[in-house]
């Protein structure tokens, strides 16, 4: 795993074995010898990524660019990316921050507000660089204070234009009513906002992002293919809400939507590893400085970009579904967006490596998901 910045715990390095036996299944190539395995898959894309801006952008973008070909980049900056012009400028900043030899392609999004116009949607589609519009209910998560306050009352003309332009709506699926329990906000959002939206505009393409509940799984499964899909994060596949509290409060396991009960985690794992094409990779990797996580009012967000592919492989291996990993990481997302699949490959080797405790930069430290743990799958470029 490539690492950038100063690593406080060294990454263990192992030589990748050249193994003699090969089994070909579709475009996957699995090589085995005793307990060692190599898995070759089409280069994945990340369909939900936070890159931030400024020094933080420069620090974290190399991690995502190492093994992902493309990424849908979230627009919740300060100020948010509400116009096509701003999205174009942000894209240029990302490209300038990439390593010199990188082919990584940022796919930009607009931040939906109460005042977004249908004309802006037309401009976004014509730009060739904006691929979706993000719905943040006002107050739902980091930098969402400028989000939507009344979707049907103030945004319906924009949503209709999006449907006409085949522009997907990416949904942070939580209500923000303070009377609704934080663990129930996704379910209530589905019942009161998302289901009515799909019924009113069935032609609108919707991605329910970072799903966390069995209700979200069932809702996505009930919708027609090509109209509604969902992204799934490593944390919601591997952790339940106990992870926030075990051994004391664990701020680096705090994200929004918050982790849920074990029964919900199991439902998401079952859906993802079943081969259902409506589910695809979206890390929701959300970097914050360590000091902003470990404080009296810590930020929500888990930084998983350096470990995401390794963790997804772990989930699929434990489910006995490694043969379905490639579709989840590399096929389902571009198919939904109507984009070509990547042609390049990456290799996953079953070789233990230790995740750094943190990454150090001039502005501070960033703690990754699974910090200090040993993971079994290590990705590499081909």
Cα gap 208→236, rounded to integer Å: 14
Catalytic entry in 50, 236, 260, 264 = 50
Catalytic residue check, 48: yes
Catalytic residue check, 63: no
Catalytic entry in 31, 172, 187, 314 = 172
Cα–Cα distances (Å) from 215 to 105, 132, 136, 239, 354, in that order, read 33, 24, 20, 18, 35
Catalytic entry in 134, 187, 264, 278 = 134
338's CB contacts (< 8 A; 6+ apart) are 166
Helical ranges in the chain per DSSP H: 54-67, 84-97, 118-127, 151-154, 156-165, 185-189, 195-200, 214-222, 234-238, 262-273, 290-293, 308-318, 325-326, 332-337
Catalytic residue check, 210: yes
Which residue from 194, 126, 211, 193 is spatially nearest to 161, judged by alpha carbons? Answer: 126
Q: In what order do the strands lie in the sheet with 364-366?
A: 6-7, 359-361, 364-366
CB 125 within 8 A of CB 81: no
Cα–Cα distances (Å) from 271 to 120, 189, 200, in that order, read 36, 20, 26
- Written as one string, the DSSP assignment of 243-298 is GGTTTS--GGG--SSPP--HHHHHHHHHHHHTT-TTEEE---B----HHHHSSTTP
CB 42 within 8 A of CB 342: yes
Cα gap 66→102, rounded to integer Å: 8
CB 147 within 8 A of CB 136: yes
The residues pairing with 151 across neighbouring beta strands, listed in sequence order, are none
Length of the chain: 382
Catalytic entry in 31, 45, 46, 48 = 48
Cα gap 110→135, rounded to integer Å: 9
Catalytic residue check, 288: no
Cα gap 212→209, rounded to integer Å: 9
Backbone angles phi, psi at 192, to 5 degrees: -100, -20
Cis peptide before 257 (omega within 30 of 0): yes
Catalytic entry in 284, 288, 293, 314 = 284
Cα gap 336→248, rounded to integer Å: 41
Catalytic entry in 31, 187, 205, 210 = 210
Active centre residues (catalytic): 48, 50, 134, 172, 210, 284
């Amino acid at each position: 795993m490539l690492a950038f910045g100063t690593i406080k715990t060294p990454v263990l390095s192992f030589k990748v074995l050249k193994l003699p036996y090969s089994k070909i299944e579709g475009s996957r190539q699995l090589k085995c010898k005793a307990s060692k395995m190599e898995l070759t898959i089409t280069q994945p894309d990340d369909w939900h990524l936070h890159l931030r801006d400024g020094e933080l952008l420069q620090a974290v973008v190399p991690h995502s660019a190492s093994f992902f070909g493309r990424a849908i980049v979230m627009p919740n900056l300060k100020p948010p990316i509400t116009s096509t012009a701003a999205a174009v400028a942000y894209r240029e900043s990302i490209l300038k921050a990439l390593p010199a030899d990188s082919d990584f392609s940022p796919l930009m999004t607009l931040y939906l507000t109460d005042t977004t116009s249908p004309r802006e949607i037309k401009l976004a589609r014509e730009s060739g660089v904006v691929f979706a519009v993000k719905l943040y209910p006002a107050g739902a998560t980091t930098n969402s204070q400028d989000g939507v306050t009344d979707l049907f009352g103030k945004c319906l003309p924009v949503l209709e234009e999006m449907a006409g332009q085949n522009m997907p709506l990416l949904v942070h699926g939580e209500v923000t009513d303070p009377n609704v329990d934080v663990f129930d906000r996704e379910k209530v959002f589905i019942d009161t906002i998302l289901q009515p939206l799909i019924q009113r505009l069935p032609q609108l393409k919707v991605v329910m992002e970072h799903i966390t509940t069995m209700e979200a799984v069932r809702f996505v499964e009930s919708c027609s293919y090509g109209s509604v899909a969902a992204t799934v994060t490593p944390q919601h596949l591997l952790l339940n809400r106990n992870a926030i509290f075990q051994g004391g409060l664990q701020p680096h396991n705090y994200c929004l939507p918050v982790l849920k009960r074990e029964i919900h985690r199991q439902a998401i794992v079952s859906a993802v590893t079943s081969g259902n094409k409506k589910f695809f990779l979206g890390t929701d990797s959300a970097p914050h400085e360590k000091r902003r996580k470990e404080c009296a009012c810590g930020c929500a967000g888990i930084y998983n970009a350096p470990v995401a592919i390794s963790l997804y492989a772990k989930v699929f291996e434990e489910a006995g579904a490694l043969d379905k990993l490639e579709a989840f990481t590399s096929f389902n997302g571009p198919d939904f967006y109507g984009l070509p699949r990547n042609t390049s490959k990456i290799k996953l080797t079953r070789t233990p490596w230790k995740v750094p405790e943190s990454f150090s930069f001039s502005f501070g430290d960033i703690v990754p998901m699974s910090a200090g743990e040993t993971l079994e799958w290590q990705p590499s470029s081909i």
